[in-house]
Structure 1
Amino acid sequence: MTLYKIKESLDQRETEKLSKAAALSGSGVRRLNEPFIDTGYRQNFSVDVDRILHSLAYTRYIDKTQVFYLIENDHITHRMLHVQLVSKISRTIGRYLELNEDLIEAIALGHDIGHTPFGHDGENFLSKICKSYHIGHFLHSVQSIQFLDKVERKGKGWNLCLQTLDGILCHDGEIHNQSLEPSVNKTFKTLEAEIDEKKNNPATQLVPMTMEGCVVRMADTISYIGRDIEDAIRLSIIKRSDLPRESVEILGDTNGTIVYNLVSDIIMNSFKKAHLSFSTKISNALKRLKTFNMEYIYLNPEIKKKKGFIKESFKILFERYIEDLENENRTSVIFTGFLEDMSDGYIDSHNYAEIVRDFIAGMTDKYFLRHCSD
């Protein structure tokens, strides 16, 4: 049996074993045809997983803030661990719902690749700067597509499947949904339109085109809600007894019980269906817990003590690199560390502000701080 025949048998097995709502590997569509993939033995979404794993942006997850930054504690969640948790939780849900685990893994591993240093605070600071330079709002979901599609491989991009890119763009883990039904029949033209819409109006709510994308979006919330609570308790920002009683009675008061109850509920309410859903009781409990986290953790001034310094640093670095580009300062790190050997296609299609946005967004926390002191 040839290797291609094995691929055909795997594709056939998906047809027989997966849910009718699942995205089959054979349905994966790329911007550019790749004969090596079309005639090889690798399935489409499995290829996407490997390409994301081998991206430089994925490597930089290891030193990117999840919630708490500039804190000396090795046991606090960083972006890499969060992404791994999303991948594991979403693949667990996908397995029980008979969905495509390769597509789920690709979306999960790539969903936060566009995050700035210093988490959502960094994202907000960079967004205001980008808006002032008239290049639209900055959103990490949009930037994830930018990195994977247009920056990686010196501007060539990874030529990922539409289904993977769509799931990454539409993950919006901060939005609360009791249920999600895929918005099917999208194209690359749809993807570009949704990117433009999101950059112009960040409040725009996008819906993934696949059940797999919907799973990752729900799993994003499941993975961070309890984990952030444990981190906040570890840092003495809150006490376990502070958690809202109405949510604790339904979901529990530890990350383990919260994850278990949320995953169990979504599987029970979504099995053999063409949409994903929490029960009303669980959804309401989760919504209350998200409100609690926002007030007592994410907006807590105790974790914002260095916010002013980080905000000013974003402004200083952005202006510095704009000036370096305008003056063609070839000794600047934006030339030596980012634009060196970059494709003409990338350089010709991006103005100075967009280039600086991409450079700063891709920085790790330590790299950002190192260049603040230069």
Structure 2
Amino acid sequence: MAAPFACGPGATRGRVHAEDESAHRTPFQRDRDRIIHSSAFRRLKHKTQVFVEHEGDYFRTRLTHSIEVAQVARTLARALGLNEDLTEAVALAHDLGHTPFGHTGEEALSALMAPHGGFDHNAQAIRIVTSLERHYAGWDGLNLTWETLEGIAKHNGPVGDPVPVALADYNARHDLELATHASAEAQVAALSDDIAYNNHDIHDGLRAGLFTTEDLLALPRVGDCFRAVDRAWPGLDPSRRRHEALRRFFGVLVEDVIDTTRANLVALAPATPADIRRAGRMTVCFSPALWADLRELRAFLFTRMYRAPSVVEMRSRVTQVVEELFPLFLATPEHLPGEWQGDVARAGDAAQLARIVADYIAGMTDRFALKTHAALTGRRSALCGDYADAP
């Protein structure tokens, strides 16, 4: 049974473009399905988290990460009495706005777009689902419900000043109430993102040989899970030992969110979804003790993984790709595909043209960015494979 503070599909604030309701799916189920069938969602298959896409089939991509986030989100939503479909829709959409090459690509594009209003992946996700997906006869975008759009825009909390230009432009036409917190469903999606990447970054770092399981024993919670496995199964095969310990760590994170959020809900006693939005703080969250331990884990991963020499070298190489593509397209927009030329013709100033170029580059997969860079510069990188997928 849904909790009174859950977002019910029958009470949705609706869509910008009116549509007949489906006889078989709720509005939030339709949102989820439209996200899954979008071009931007498919491109996540070849966009990476930390490593460049070609480095190994085992490493997480934005697509596998989004699926993992959605799985955790449904579990949490069910345990808390929330709407699972809305939660899943926000979880699946949360990374749609990411550039190629993970956060490295976003940092490069943000710097390049600084004179033109900046770049933010959450705001870019809103641009994608409200404008850049152009497949429907009656509108641009996916025509998602207000609740799903709100969740994408502010699942990490209220959006303060300065509001990213891309998000501000849309919000001026369709108020998403950026100064308030999002629904409990969107907050669950945000915490599920934290749970998923904290766990799988350890997996990927171990796989890449950037640290060992013994290095993890000093970390709070993670080390406890390894020691518990060693007590239960002494001498366990290293691969099984690692998987079993990290499976337990995953469970620790999920259980903490459920217990902490339930306590918060008792204290808040929300009667409607609006009570969650007006609470003034995140209702769905980790306990302070676990959050402190996660900060220690993130510091470890920052040093040993995100700033490992091999990763830093790769960051430098892919940053150069983005830094060279952007001014090239800005100076010669005729290199953009034919379907983008209408937008180029309508661009009224340099900032609008820069936004179009940023939209195009942000939509690239790792492999397509490398191939395009090689084709336009005549310098084929050792990272570039024989790929043909386009944004």
**Range into which the TM-score falls when normalised by the shorter chain:** 0.7 to 0.9
Q: 1:292, 1:82 → 2: CA distance?
A: 21
Aligned pair in 2 of structure 1 residues 103, 343: CA closer, same or farther (>3 Å)? farther
Deviations 1:242-283 (A, max 9, x none): 123333355657431221111011112223715223233322
Deviations 1:312-332 (A, max 9, x none): 22122111111223xxx3xx2
What's the CA shift for 1:100? 0.4
SS at match of 1:358: helix
What's the CA shift for 1:122? 0.4
Q: 1:324, 1:197 → 2: CA distance?
A: 23
Identify the match of residue 284 of structure 1 among 249, 267, 292. 292
Do structure 1's residue 213 and structure 2's residue 186 form an aligned pair?
yes
> What aligned pairs does 1:218-229 form with structure 2 within 5 A after superposition?
218-229=191-202
> What aligned pairs does 1:83-122 form with structure 2 within 5 A after superposition?
83-122=66-105
The residue type equivalent to 2:63 in the other structure is M
User: Which residue is equivalent to 1:23?
Assistant: 7
Aligned pair in 2 of structure 1 residues 24, 316: CA closer, same or farther (>3 Å)? same
What's the CA shift for 1:41? 4.6
What's the CA shift for 1:366? 0.8
The residue type equivalent to 1:221 in the other structure is D
The answer to which of 86-95 and 302-311 deviates more is 302-311
TM-score (norm 2): 0.76
Q: 2:168, 2:315 → 1: CA distance?
A: 24
Q: 1:60, 1:135 → 2: CA distance?
A: 26
What's the CA shift for 1:22? 0.7
Deviations 1:62-109 (A, max 9, x none): 100111116532111111100000000011000010100010111011
Q: 1:129, 1:339 → 2: CA distance?
A: 20
Do structure 1's residue 270 and structure 2's residue 244 form an aligned pair?
no
Note the residue ranges of structure 1 that are not aligned, 5 or more in a row.
Answer: 1-16, 173-181, 184-189
User: Which residue is equivalent to 2:330?
Assistant: 322
Do structure 1's residue 306 and structure 2's residue 314 form an aligned pair?
yes
Identify the match of residue 59 of structure 1 among 42, 45, 58. 42
Aligned pair in 2 of structure 1 residues 206, 367: CA closer, same or farther (>3 Å)? farther
What's the CA shift for 1:57? 0.5
What's the CA shift for 1:169? 2.0
User: Which residue is equivalent to 1:179?
Assistant: none
What's the CA shift for 1:160? 1.1
Q: 1:352, 1:58 → 2: CA distance?
A: 25
Q: 1:100, 1:192 → 2: CA distance?
A: 30
Identify the match of residue 139 of structure 1 among 113, 120, 131. 120
Identify the match of residue 128 of structure 1 among 111, 124, 129. 111
Q: 1:351, 1:341 → 2: CA distance?
A: 13
SS at match of 2:20: helix
Deviations 1:47-69 (A, max 9, x none): 11111111110110110011111
SS at match of 1:246: coil
What's the CA shift for 1:210? 0.1
Aligned pair in 2 of structure 1 residues 251, 114: CA closer, same or farther (>3 Å)? farther
Deviations 1:280-299 (A, max 9, x none): 33222222112211222112
Identify the match of residue 77 of structure 1 among 51, 60, 77. 60
Paired residues, number: 328
Note the residue ranges of structure 2 that are not aligned, 5 or more in a row.
Answer: 170-177, 227-241, 271-282, 376-391
User: Which residue is equivalent to 1:14?
Assistant: none
Aligned pair in 2 of structure 1 residues 343, 166: CA closer, same or farther (>3 Å)? farther
| Aligned-residue RMSD, C-alpha | 2.9
SS at match of 2:143: coil
Q: 1:94, 1:195 → 2: CA distance?
A: 29
TM-score (norm 1): 0.79
User: Which residue is equivalent to 1:178?
Assistant: none
Q: Is the 8 A contact 2:326 2:361 kept in 1?
A: yes
Q: Is the 8 A contact 1:114 1:142 kept in 2?
A: yes
Q: 2:326, 2:344 → 1: CA distance?
A: 22
What's the CA shift for 1:30? 3.8
Identify the match of residue 245 of structure 1 among 203, 215, 219. 219
Q: Is the 8 A contact 1:170 1:217 kept in 2?
A: no
Deviations 1:170-224 (A, max 9, x none): 244xxxxxxxxx87xxxxxx99984449889xxxx97642000110111101001
User: Which residue is equivalent to 1:149?
Assistant: 130
Question: In percent, how many aligned pairs have the same letter?
Answer: 30
Q: 1:61, 1:229 → 2: CA distance?
A: 21
The residue type equivalent to 2:91 in the other structure is A
Q: 1:211, 1:293 → 2: CA distance?
A: 29
What's the CA shift for 1:29? 2.4
